Amino acid sequence: MGGIGSGRHNQGGKDITSNMKSLDIRKLQRHGLLLPDMDCTWHWTRNGEKVPSLHIYTDSDRMIISYQDFTRGGEWRFMEYTVYLEWTDCNLGGRRAWFHCPVQECGQRVAILYSDSILACRRCHKLVYACQRESDSHGSIRGADGIRSRLGWKPGIANPEGGKPKGMHRRTFERLKARHDAFADTSWDWMAQRLEVLERRLSDRGIELDNLDCDD
């Protein structure tokens, strides 16, 4: 059984949240998986993609989460955590669920837990949001616009892409477009993380971002 470590640390430098396997209690609530005696299989997500599944059993005030993961040495290990839940009332009616971080010295109320060597909140893993690296993100926006200018496209990654400029070699165009798309992907990820930060701040005040609907 994977115990909760007493140390609140993550090996190495700070990583970003999107690089970690995550479990979002808001998604579980939307799918009706927080009812007592609910037993289900769920998929971790990382960078928006599904990764190996985990087993969840929900009681009235807690959740038992178990899964298999690789150790740093490449060996499989079985992990199991008891995660306590909290419910808060929303301003417009309804209730919202929260995790309590399972790290003993923490217990912070959070919407998302992350998994690496332990299952814990963002602060315990010492993670940062991609949007906290704004210098890189602003550089990506400028990089994308610089390529759009060279291609004769309208500035702004939200605008439609144009075609290959007349007289430009196909290989040059494809190389520039690939660089543009990489810059754009980084920029969109940054904006999505900014939205996540805003949603969290509003949620802390009992305000829901999605049409002010507490079900989300």
pLDDT tens column, 5-39: 433 333 334 566 667 788 888 889 988 889 999 99
pTM for the full model?
0.54
At 12 the pLDDT is 38
At 142 the pLDDT is 84
Divide the 216 residues of the chain into consecutive groups of 10 and give the mean pLDDT of each group. 40 58 87 90 70 85 86 74 91 85 90 83 76 60 88 90 90 89 80 72 60 40
At 49 the pLDDT is 61
Torsion angle in degrees (nearest 10) through CA of 35, 60, 21, 119 = -170
At 186 the pLDDT is 77
Distances (CA, A) of 132 to 53, 111, 128, 189, 212: 29, 19, 6, 12, 26
* CA-angle at 37, arms to 1 and 208, nearest 5°: 95
Q: 60-94 burial, b if ≥16 CB within 10 A, otherwise e?
A: eeebebebebeeeeeeeeebebebebeeeebeeee
The distance from CA 27 to its chain's CA centroid, rounded to whole angstroms, is 12
At 50 the pLDDT is 64
Domain boundaries, the chain: 17-127, 130-194
